[in-house]
Amino acid sequence: MDVPAARRTLRTAAVLGSCCLALASGCSGFGGGPAEEAPAARAGRVTGVPLAATDLQNQYQKVIKNVLPSVVQIQASSDLGSGVVYDGDGHIVTNAHVVGNEKKFKVTTANNEEPLTATLVYSYPEQDLAVIRLDKVPDGLRAAVFGDTEKVQVGQITLAMGSPLGLSSSVTEGIVSATGRTVSENPSGGPGATIPNMVQTSAAINPGNSGGALVDLDGRVIGIPTLAATDPDLGGSTAPGIGFAIPGSMVKTVADQIIRQGKVTDSGRAALGITGRTVVDVNYQPAGVAVVTVKPGDAADKAGIRPGDIITKVGADDITTITSLAESLASDRPGQKTTVTYSRDGIERTVGVTLGEQ
C-alpha cells in the first residue's frame, strides 16, 4: 500500500471481538495425604499444550513456505506495494492504487534478487484491482491458489504477506474479524473506490502491504490486503488491528476478465449511470448528491432523472454524500429494481429504477 493509501478513511462501523481459551484441570487423591496426580494427567499438563502450539507453529511455517514465494514486491517510480503471482504466464494481481497511472514496474520475486520488469495489463480502480505481467517469466515462478470467499468464517486464522514499509517477504498474523464489510477508500481526502464484501482482519496491514496476500491456514489466498482503518480521533492515524482485504472470489472474477479480454467487461456491480457531487444544506451539512451528468440510455436516464436533480434516497437508504450513494449501490446487482428519491426545483419526487451495471 502506498503511503497516501494508509491514510484512507474507513466509512463503515467496525466491530471487534475477542475470545479467551480457558484451561481447566482436576485431580483426585486417596486418603488424607497430598493428592498424587495420575501419570496421564501429568503427561497432559506437561506435553499437551506445547504439542498443540508446536502443531500450530508448524502449520504457520508450512503455509509461509508454500505461499510466500508467490508474493512479490512492486516498485513504481515513487510508490511501493505488493502483488500476488496469479498464473505461470507471469500475470500478477495487485491493487489499482499501487500501480497508479504508471505502465512499467520493477518486480522483485522471492527467487530473484535482481528486480524484473513488468508491464501493466489493465487497471480497474472501481474495484481497486489491477493486473501487471512480467516481461520475462523467470524459472520457478509459483502461482498462488485462491480460495472461495464464501467459505471464509469469522475466527479463522489469517496471515498477511507483503512488503510493509519496503520490508519484503514480511508476514503478520491475525484472524478474520468480520466478513461482508462495505468500505469506502478516501485517498488524500478525495473520493475513492467503494468496495463491497471485504474481509476484515486483525492481521497488521501497513503501507506496502497493499496488493499482497491474506492467506488461510490451508495456504489459500482469501483476499488482497488493501487498506487499514484510520481513527479520526487519533489524527487520522491507523487504527490497530482493523485491516481490510478485497475478497479472493472478486479478485479472481476481475483478474480472469483482464487476462482473457484485456479489460473488465462484467463487473457484477450496480450503477445508476450518473456522475454527481455532494451538496450541503444551509448549515453546511451534507444533504444529497447533485446529478452532474446522466449517461444516455442508462438507469437514471430511463427513470427520467436529469442533471441538476438532487438525489436524497435510494430504496430505504438516505443519501447525503457521493460516498453514501456508492455504498448504497455496492450491495445491489445489475437489473435489480429499486426506487430513487430526488428533488427538482424544490419538489421531491420518487421514481422506480432498474439498476444498470458499473
Residues with catalytic function: 97, 128, 210
Q: Report the Cα–Cα distance between both ends of the chain, in Å, rounded.
A: 25
Other Cβ atoms within 10 Å of 307 Cβ, number: 13
Cell of 241: 488491528
Torsion of CA 280, 286, 287, 289, to 10 degrees: 90
Residue type, 89: D
d(CA 263, CA 127): 13
DSSP 327-339: HHHHT--TT-EEE
DSSP 161-223: EE-GGG-TTEEEEEEEEEEEEEEE--GGGS---EEEEEEEE-S---TT-TTSEEE-TTSEEEE
Count, residues in the chain: 358
d(CA 124, CA 297): 23
d(CA 75, CA 112): 14
Say which DSSP state 305 is in: -
CA atoms within 13 A on the CB side of 150: 0
Other Cβ atoms within 10 Å of 243 Cβ, number: 30
CA atoms within 13 A on the CB side of 304: 10
